[in-house]
Amino acid sequence: MTTTTARVLTILGSEVRIGDIIDVGGNPHRVVDVRAILVGGRRRFQFADGNAYVLGGGARVKITRTLAPARGRLNAPQRRPRPHAGDRAC
C-alpha cells in the first residue's frame, strides 16, 4: 500500500524546489522550473499552468511539499541537466 503525505511548510524563497505547490492569491500552483535572477538574489518560479512568479530569496513563503512514501522523507526531484557552456569548466 502506498500513501502520499503532504506537509505545509514556511520556507525562504531560496529553498523552493521543483514539485512544490505555492499558493499565489489563493490559487495553488505547482512549480515546474526554478531560475535564479542575479539582481537582488531573487528567484523566478515557472508553474505547470504557464504562469510565472518572481520572489525574493529571503522572503518567506508557505508551500505544500509531498512526502515520499517509500523512504519517508521529503521528495527531492532530480535536477535537470543544463546545457554545457562550451569548453569552460563547470
List, for residues 31-56, the tens digit of each pLDDT value. 999 998 877 788 999 999 999 999 88
Residue 84 lies in a domain: no
Q: Is the pLDDT of residue 86 over 80?
A: no
Residue 77 lies in a domain: no
**Cα–Cα dist 19/13, whole Å:** 14
Total domains in the fold of the chain: 1
Q: Which amino acid is at 58?
A: G
Identify the pLDDT of residue 50.
Answer: 92
Q: Is the pLDDT of residue 5 over 70?
A: yes
- For the residues 60-71, what does the mean pLDDT come to? 79
Residue 79 lies in a domain: no
List the CATH number of the domain containing 32: 2.30.30.30
Structural domain range at position 14: 5-67
**Cα–Cα dist 11/9, whole Å:** 6
Residue 75 lies in a domain: no
- For the residues 6-26, what does the mean pLDDT come to? 89
Residue 24 lies in a domain: yes
Residue 90 lies in a domain: no
DSSP 74: B
